[in-house]
Amino acid sequence: MSDDELSRRSLLDLFREEAQAQTRTLSAGLLALESAPEHAATLEDCMRATHSLKGAARIVGLPEAVEVASAMEDCFVAAQRGELRIDAARIDALLVGIDMLIAAGDASAPPLAHEAVQAFVARLTGLASTPNEAHEADAFAALSASLRLPEPEPAPELEPEPEPAAVEPIVPTQPQQPRPADAERMLRVRAGTLDRLLGLAGESLVESRRMRPFADGLLRVRRAQGDVLAALGQFHERHVDALDADARIALAGIREALVGLDRQLSERFDDLDRIDRRGTQLAQRLYDEALQCRMRPFGDTAHAYPRIVRDLARSLGKRVRFAIVGEWTQVDRDILEMLDAPLGHLLRNALDHGIEDTETRRRAGKSEEASLTLEARHSAGKLLITVADDGAGVDLDALRASIVARGLAQAEAAAAMSDAELFDFLLLPGFSMRDTVTDVSGRGVGLDAVQNFAKAVRGTVRIESTAGQGTRFVLQLPLTLSVVRSLIVEVAGEAYAFPLAHVRRALSVPRHAIEMLEGQQHIPFEGRPVGLVTARQLLGALAEPNATGDLNVVLVGGETGLYGVAVDRFAGERTLAVQPLDARLGKVRNVMAAALLEDGAVALIVDVEDIVASVGRLVRDGQLAGVARGGHDAVRARKRILVVEDSLTVRELERKLLEKRGYEVTVAVDGMDGWNTLRNARFDLVITDVDMPRMDGIELVTMIKGDAQHRNVPVMIVSYKDREDDRRRGLDAGADYYLTKGSFHDEALLDAVNDLIGEATG
C-alpha cells in the first residue's frame, strides 16, 4: 500500500470517528425536534454538527458526503430563519442523510452513488417536481432500504470471565444528568491491558494485606519483651537487698536498656502500623480505580435506541413516547457490549406485541401516544435493566391456549399455573404468540435470546404484566463480570468458591437425616427431598473419608434441578476478583475461573451450571457416589465396584446384579472414563470389557497394574472373546479373573466377585 493510500486510510478513520460523534448529536437532535420543531438551541446544535461534517468531508475528499452535509445544513439554517418546518417527513429524510454520512466514512462500504445523493438532496429541498421525480423517488427509497439498521441478532454465548482478591468493589453511581462539556478526555486502551491491570491491582491488594500478620507478630514480640521487663522488675524488687552496689548498677543499666528498646520497638510498631494502613488503603484505591476502568455509562449503548424505536413505531403506525432513564449508570464493558441485541429484542417486542395502535388505545380510554421506558439502575449490588410499556399487557388466556396448542403442557396443568409460571414459557426457544411471521416478530427467537444472554452473564429475567396496563421486562444482572460475591468452601484441603447468585442456601445437615430414594441419597429441605452429591466427586478430589458430625451442604440449581453439594467446610463469604484460566487449558469441567484469596491462596470458582449438568449425567450413568452417613454405615461400609463397559445393556445388567447383592456400583462408558473415575475415588474391584473406544480393556488393566496407587485393586475382565489367546492376553496384562460373556449368567458373575473381594459388607 502506497504512502498516499495509507494517508487517505488514516484520514478516513478520523472522519469515521468524527461522523460517529456528530451523527449521534444529530440523531438526538432530530428526535427532539419531532416534538419541538422550533427549538432554537436544538436547531443550532444540529446545524453546527452538519457544518463540522461538511468541513471534515471536504478535507478528506468525499464530495458526495460534502453535498449531503451541505443540504442538511441548508435545511437547518432555513428552519432557523423560519423558512421551513422540520416535520416528520423531513426528519425521515434527514435520518437517511445521517446513514449516508456514516456510510461515507466506512472504507469497506461502496462509495455513495451520485444518483442516490441527488435523490436525497432533491427530496430534502422539496424540489422533486421535475420529470425525473419518480426515478429520484425510487432511488431514494432504495437508498433508505439499503441503509436501514439491521435487526438485532441473538446474543452470543459468553465465556464467563473471572475475578481476583476478596474485596468489596466501590462502583459509584453517576448522577443522571449530562456531564459538563469539559468532561475527562477519553483514551482507547486494549481490553487485555485493562484485564492485566486489574489482575495486578488485585495481586497488589493481596500483597498489601500480608503486612498485617507481620505486624501482629511484631506486636507479640513487643508483648514478650514487656513480660521480660516486668519479670526483671519483680526480680529487682525481691533481690535488691541481696545485691551489692555494682550488681544493682548493672541491673539498673539492663532495665534502662530494655526500657529504651521497648520504646524503640513501640515507635517502630506504630510506624509499621501506619505503613500497613496506608499501603492497604492505596492498594484498595488502586484496585477500585482499575475496576472502574472496566465500567462505561449505559448511554454508550443506549444512544441508538431512540432512532430504532422511532423508525419501528412509524412503520407500525403507532405513536410512542420513548424515554431512557439512567444513561450514566455504570455498566461493565463486557456486559454493555452484549446488551445491544437483547435490548433490541425487548424494545421490538414492546412495540409490536405490547403497545396498541392509536385507535385501540383511544377506544380503551388511553392516551393515543404510548409510553415506552428503558431504565438502568443499581440496586442491592445488582444492575437492573427495565423495559416497560403501558400497552395491553400479556393476554393470559391466549398464552395458556398457545402453551396447550404447542403441546408444552396439558390444559389442566396450564389452567393451574401462576402468572409467573406462564410468563416463563415466553422465554422458551421458538415460542411466539404470533401465528404468522412478519418483518418484526413471529419467529420466536427474540425473548429466547434475552434469556440466553441473562444466563451467560449469571443474571435472570423477570416478566411482570397487568392486563390493560402494560408489561415490564426486568433484567437482573451482575454489576460487573470482573468481581463476584462468593461462598468460600473447602474440599479435600483446597479452596473453592460458589458464586452467591447461584447458591440457594448453605446449611448443616445431620448425617442420619440422609435418605436413600431410587438409589440416590437425598436430604430434606423445606418439606421435600433434595438430591445429595459430593463436591469431592464433582471436582475430582479424593473420596470422602468416613466422617462423623453434621454435613455441610450447598444448595444449588433451580426448582426443577435443585441439588445439595456436600463440602468439607464453610470458610465464609468473599468478594473475589475473577482471574480467567489460561486459554490453553480449554474448558475445565465444573470450574469457571480462579481468584486470589486474602492470604494469597488460589481458589477455583465453581461453574454451577456445569455442576448441575454433571450431576444429571452422573445420575443417568449410575456413577453418582454417596456420602458416608456415619453410624452403621461407617462400621460396615459397602464394598465399591467400578464397572467399565461401553454397551449400555450389559453395563446396566451388571450394575443391577451387583447392587441387588449389596455392592455399591459406579459405571464408566469406556476405558478412559474408567481410568479417570478410578483415579478420583476408591474401589475394591474393577470389572471391564475388552473392546471399547478411546482405551480398551487390556490398556486399562495395564494402566491399573502399572500404577503404584492402584496396582493392588483386583481387575476382572468380562468379554465375548473366549479364545485361549485372548484369555492369555488379559491375564498377562495383569487381570485377576477372566469371564466370558458366552457363558455369562448371574451366579457366575456374582461368584467370581465373591471369590475376589468377598461379600458386599464383609
Q: Bridge partners of 718? A: 739
CA 463 to chain centre: 20
Tell me the average pLDDT across 232-257: 83
Q: Higher pLDDT residue, 287 or 75? A: 75
Q: Are 277 and 1 a contacting pair, CB within 8 Å?
A: no
Calculate Rg over the CA atoms of the chain. Answer: 36
- pLDDT value, residue 470: 92
Among 76, 67, 52, 57, smallest CA distance to 120 is for: 67
Q: According to CATH, what is the number of the domain 3-146?
A: 1.20.120.160
User: How far apart (Å, rounded) are the C-alpha atoms in residues 496 and 493?
Assistant: 10
Task: Judge whether residue 136 has pLDDT over 70.
Answer: no
- pLDDT band per the 50, 70, 90 thresholds, residue 127: very low
Domain 299-478 has CATH 3.90.740.10: no
Contact in structure between 206 and 595 (CB atoms under 8 Å):
no
Confidence at residue 260, expressed as pLDDT on a 0 to 100 scale: 85
Nearest Cα neighbor of 76 from 116, 25, 115 is: 25
Residue 543 banded pLDDT, cuts 50, 70, 90: low
The residue-averaged pLDDT of 353-361 equals 89
Is pLDDT above 50 for 3?
Answer: no
Q: What is the pLDDT of residues 189-201, one digit of tens each?
A: 777 787 778 778 8
What's the pLDDT score for residue 742? Answer: 59
Confidence of residue 390 (pLDDT cuts 50, 70, 90): very high
Query: Which residue did the predictor score with more confidence, 545 or 240?
Result: 240
Q: Which long-range contacts (CB under 8 A, 24 or more apart) does 208-214 make?
A: 208/276, 208/279, 208/280, 208/282, 208/283, 208/284, 209/280, 209/283, 209/598, 209/599, 210/599, 210/600, 211/272, 211/275, 211/276, 211/279, 211/280, 212/276, 212/280, 214/272
Distance, CA of 642 to CA of 279 (rounded, Å): 55
* pLDDT for 185 beyond 70: no
Give residue-wise pLDDT tens across range 45-64. Answer: 888 888 888 877 877 778 88
How many percent of the chain have pLDDT more than 70?
83
Average the pLDDT over 301-307 and give the result.
Answer: 82
User: Contact 645/741 with Cβ under 8 angstroms?
Assistant: no
- Only one residue has cell 482478591, namely 165
Distance CA 526, CA 321 (A): 47
Which pLDDT score is estimated for 157?
43
Q: Strand pairing of 551-556 and 569-577? A: unpaired
Question: 685 - beta bridge partners?
Answer: 641
The grid coordinates listed for 319 are 405513536
Q: State what percent of residues in the chain have pLDDT above 90.
A: 7
Return the closest-CA partner of residue 318 out of 223, 229, 392, 248. 392
For residue 447, the model assigns a pLDDT of 81
Residues 56, 69: contact at Cβ < 8 Å? no
CB 445 within 8 A of CB 299: no
| pLDDT one-digit tens code per residue, 454-476 | 888 878 888 999 888 999 999 98
Residue with cell 529504651: 260
Q: Note the residue count of the chain.
A: 762
Q: Is the pLDDT of residue 211 over 80?
A: no
DSSP 3-state of 667? strand
Q: Assess contact for 480 and 578: CB atoms under 8 A.
A: no
3-state helix/strand/coil string of 336-347: HHHHHHHHHHHH
Considering only CA atoms, which of 332, 628, 380, 597 is closest in space to residue 487?
597
Beta bridge partners of 152: none
Q: What is the mean pLDDT of residues 526-550?
A: 77
Cα separation, 320 vs 83, in Å, equals 28
Statement: residue 207 has pLDDT above 80: no
Instruction: Give 585-595 pLDDT, tens digit per residue.
Output: 777 888 888 88
- Is residue 445 over pLDDT 80? no
The domain spans of the chain are 3-146, 191-292, 299-478, 483-621, 638-757
Annotation: CATH topology of 483-621: OB fold (Dihydrolipoamide Acetyltransferase, E2P) (2.40.50)
Packing angle, helices 305-315 and 88-104, rounded to 10: 130
Q: What whole-number distance in Å separates Cα of residue 50 and Cα of residue 39? A: 17
At 363 the three-state DSSP class reads helix
Please tell me the distance from the alpha carbon of residue 621 to that of residue 669, in angstroms, as a whole number: 8
Indicate the CATH number for domain 638-757. Answer: 3.40.50.2300
Q: Average pLDDT for residues 616-625, to the nearest whole number?
A: 68
DSSP labels, 556-590: ES-GGG-EEEEESEEEEEEEEEBBPPPGGG---TT
Grid coordinates of 522 = 437425598
Cα–Cα separations (whole angstroms), residue 322 to 1, 35, 355: 47, 12, 12
Question: Using H for helix, E for strand and C for coil, what is the string for 273-298?
Answer: HHHHHHHHHHHHHHHHHHHHCCEEEC
Q: pLDDT tens digit string along 65-117? A: 888 888 888 888 888 888 888 888 888 888 888 888 888 877 667 777 888 88
Q: What is the pLDDT of residue 446?
A: 62
Q: How far apart are CA 178 and CA 258, in angstroms?
A: 64
What does the pLDDT read at residue 743? 56
CA trace torsion 289, 293, 294, 299 (10° rounding): 120
Residue 437, pLDDT score: 45
For CA atoms 420, 421, 424, 426, the dihedral sign is negative
Q: Which pLDDT score, from 0 to 100, does residue 153 have?
A: 43
465 DSSP 8-state letter: E
Pairing assessment for the beta strands 640-644 and 664-668 based on DSSP bridges: parallel
Lowest model confidence (mean pLDDT) among 12-21, 483-492, 656-665: 12-21
In whole angstroms, what is the distance from residue 601 CA to residue 206 CA? 9
Per residue in 147-183, pLDDT tens?
444 444 444 444 444 443 333 333 334 444 444 444 4
pLDDT band per the 50, 70, 90 thresholds, residue 744: low
Q: In this predicted model, what pLDDT tens digit does every residue of 555-590 receive, in sequence order?
A: 987 655 788 898 988 988 887 878 777 777 777 888
Q: Is residue 516 a contact partner of residue 529, using CB atoms and an 8 Å limit?
A: no
Q: In this predicted structure, what is the pLDDT of residue 371?
A: 93
Mean pLDDT of 628-635: 50
Give me the pLDDT at residue 156, please: 43
314: which DSSP letter? H
